[in-house]
Amino acid sequence: METPPHAPGNPASPVPSAALKVLAVRAVGTTAVLAELSGLPGVLALQALLLKHPLPGQVDVLAAAETVLVMADSPRSARRMPGLLLAMDLAVQKRAEGRLVTIDTVYDGEDLAEVGTLSGLGPDGVVSAHTGQVWTVAFGGFAPGFGYMVGENQVLNVPRRPSPRTAVPAGSVALAGSYSAVYPRQSPGGWQLIGRTAARMWDLGREQPALAAPGDRVQFRPVRELIDVAVPDEGIKAAGSPRGAGLRILSPGLQSLIQDLGRPGHTGLGVGAAGALDRSSLRRANRLVGNSPSAAAVEVVAGGLQVQAVGDQLLAVTGAPAELAVKGTAGDPEDEDVYLERNVAPAEPFVLLDGEVLTIGPPEQGFRSYLALRGGVEAEQVLDSRSTDTLSGLGPDPLAAGDFIHAGDATESRVVSNPEIQPDFPGAGVTVLDVVPGPREDWFGAAAVESFYAQEWEVTPRSNRIGMRLGGQALERNRQGELASEGTVAGALQVPPEGLPVLFLADHPVSGGYPVIGVVVDHQRDLAGQVPIGGRIRFRRVEAGG
């Protein structure tokens, strides 16, 4: 996922003013646009200008090698952006010089000798070249704290490994193309490993979590040994011993996660928005119990969640309709004969009395249910959100048997809403999703584009919150080579070399190196998140302005 972009050139080199302009703007779905520039100097100038003077409706900005992704708060704002971007004068924009960060590095990487051969410098020459220049963090990468660093010269321009490693250790110092980077956590990767560091590239305990943020400069310093510092788990345990009112987790089912509306606005640090896959159902559940729309709730995959009330709790379950069974006791809990059972309706507030147990059954339709309790789920916020991000590891850990979730204070109204009518959810038939042509549809010929829209795609078991992997007839590209890594959005349909699309969901990487053939319209992302494993999808072409 950390495919390196094309060689960027030196952003500090003089650039003709004519090159510092937006060349073209492409729609990325209905709420984002992709500005294309001639190289990294223009990218950095545009990024700096947009951060200093945001466009109307601008939510976030993500720079890459040759593009800047601008995310908007609505389709209307996104439609206004191309004209504004094309009219911008970037020649007058100067990028402020960032902090200088020194990173102590032991140069004993597995690929050091290979890089020495590829570069013609030998191992000692690689170390000298790597430490003898100042690197600049151009933009964030595929994980929090992963920064694409550009050097002052091109002497270490080496290809990535032909076969990626399944696990690159945290702290690995690496090269790929004209970039250097440090892996902030263990993850798969195909970069050439030349060394290692104990520097904490991402630390939520710091005011600025990223040790080297975009714009900062980095000097690598060779050392013989490192003082290893234990890196704590970045996940946050939202559940602990009972204190006050809340819910005890008896069984989490297949997967139960704490989710709110996510953490937008941090893509420059490599942090995606995450959040509930079905945002409408989350808002509906919160509305039913009188919470603010963004209060944290429990997202349940395929049912199976079983919770016990500690203190009387006002709850609501929305999303995928399922049987909601409540079991309580009218006397001795050890006496099976005195258990009382009842069912409650979906999308309707109800009280789970102290000691009663709620079980969410398997969905009749759809895939994800949302359990809200009055006050919201209390959990520590990470970058202003309580959402669990399964890609980056940020936010609360997945719920487990024995955990306890506490009721918070996220109430917005004293009034509990009346029962609501839920929308239809995907069932045994085909779910039709409207798709805007992607920014890289031209990487595919007419036959491949026609096949993409004509066939029914099946959701495979390899799918998760990061992406929905689809099975069907593979699509052929009409272009060879790699696409420069660029920002992307939830709803994007990337097509890897094997030709089978991946529909990015809430926990997707913020950038990618595969062409996007289409983007699901924003208002149908909730529907996409409800298609179950084995479900079938057909895509319908619409225009971004339609």
Across 530-546, average pLDDT: 89
Q: Look up the domain containing 130 and give its range.
A: 100-222
* 52: CATH: 3.30.1360.40
279 and 387 belong to one structural domain: yes
Q: Which of 222, 251, 283 is the last residue of a domain?
A: 222
Q: From the CB of residue 119, how many other CB atoms can be counted at a distance below 10 Å?
A: 18
Residues 38 and 122 in one domain: no
Q: pLDDT at position 14, please?
A: 47
For residue 44, the model assigns a pLDDT of: 84
CA-to-CA distance for 61 and 487, rounded, in angstroms? 9
Pick the residue with more confidence: 26 or 143?
26
- Predicted confidence (pLDDT) at residue 541 exceeds the cutoff of 90: yes
Q: Does residue 332 register a pLDDT over 90?
A: no
Same domain as 360, residue 282: yes
- CA-to-CA distance for 383 and 394, rounded, in angstroms? 9
Beta pairing partners, 192: 175
* 288: helix, strand or coil: helix
CA distances from 536 to 192, 368, 458, 539 (A): 39, 16, 5, 10
Beta partners for 322? 363
What confidence tens digit (pLDDT) does each residue in 89-104 have? 887 655 566 789 999 9
Backbone phi, psi, residue 274, to 5°: 55, -145
* pLDDT number for residue 19: 58
Q: Tokens 């916020």 appear where?
A: 381
Domain final residue, candidates 31, 52, 86: 86
pLDDT attached to residue 96 = 61
Give the tens place of pLDDT for each residue, 169-187. 999 999 988 889 999 988 8
Residues 286 and 334 reside in one and the same domain: yes
* Residue 11 domain flag: no
pLDDT score at 546: 53
Residue 123 has pLDDT above 80, yes or no: yes
> For the chain, how many structural domains are there in total?
4
Indicate if 110 and 213 belong to the same structural domain.
yes
Percentage of residues of the chain with pLDDT beyond 90? 62
> Residue 32 pLDDT > 90, yes or no?
yes
In a domain, 76, yes or no: yes
pLDDT for the residue 241: 47
Res 352: pLDDT: 94
Residue 91 neighbours by CB under 8 Å, 6+ apart: 17, 20, 21, 45
Is the domain of 106 the same as that of 82?
no
User: Are 370 and 420 a contacting pair, CB within 8 Å?
Assistant: no
Token readout for 188 is 């798969």
Q: Is 156 domain-assigned? A: yes
Question: Would you state the structure tokens that stand for residue 451, as one six-digit string?
Answer: 């096949």
Relative to beta strand 235-236, strand 165-168 is unpaired
The mean per-residue pLDDT over the stretch 48-55 comes to 91
Check whether residue 106 and residue 192 sit in a common domain: yes
d(CA 123, CA 107): 9
User: In the predicted model, is pLDDT for residue 209 greater than 90?
Assistant: no
Of the ranges 10-24, 66-80, 376-390, 510-524, which one carries the lowest mean pLDDT score?
A: 10-24
pLDDT mean over 20-40: 91
Question: Which one is predicted more confidently, 97 or 289?
Answer: 289
Q: Is the same domain home to 62 and 107? A: no
- Is the pLDDT at 220 greater than 50? The verdict is yes
Whether 43 and 114 share a structural domain? no
One domain for residues 259 and 182: no
Q: Give pLDDT, residue 30.
A: 92
The burial of 284, by beta-carbon neighbours within 10 Å (0-12 exposed, 13-18 middle, 19 or more buried), is given as buried
In-domain check, residue 236: no
Any domain includes 420: no
Residue 419 predicted with pLDDT over 90: no
Other CB atoms closer than 10 Å to residue 498's CB: what's the count?
7
**3-state class (DSSP) for residue 315:** strand
pLDDT at residue 145, as a whole number: 87
- Domain assignment present for 283: yes
Q: Is 357 in the same domain as 471?
A: no
The size of the chain, in residues, is: 546
- CA torsion 217-155-482-87 (nearest 10°) is 50
pLDDT of residue 117: 95
CATH of residue 500: 2.40.100.10
Residues 273 and 375 in one domain: yes
The sign one gets for the Cα dihedral 150, 155, 157, 162 is negative
- State residue 267's pLDDT score: 85
Question: Averaged over 330-340, what is the pLDDT?
Answer: 57
pLDDT band at 455 (very low <50, low <70, confident <90, very high): very high
pLDDT computed for residue 266 by the predictor: 86
User: What's 105-154 look like in SS3?
Assistant: EECCCCCHHHHHHHHCCHHHHHHHHHHCCCEEEEEECCCCCCEEEECCCC
List Cβ neighbours of 92 (8 Å cut-off, separation of 6 or more).
none
pTM (predicted TM-score): 0.83
| Residue 229 pLDDT exceeds 50 | no
Summarised one tens digit per residue, pLDDT across range 137-171 is 888 877 788 888 989 888 999 988 877 787 899 99
Reported as type and span, the H/E element at residue 218 is strand 217-222
Mean pLDDT lowest for which of 94-108, 296-310, 421-435?
94-108
Domain boundary among 348, 373, 407: 407
Strands (E), 273-397: 297-301, 305-310, 313-319, 322-329, 339-344, 350-352, 357-363, 368-373, 377-378, 395-396
- Residue at 229 is within a domain: no
Q: Within a domain: residue 318?
A: yes
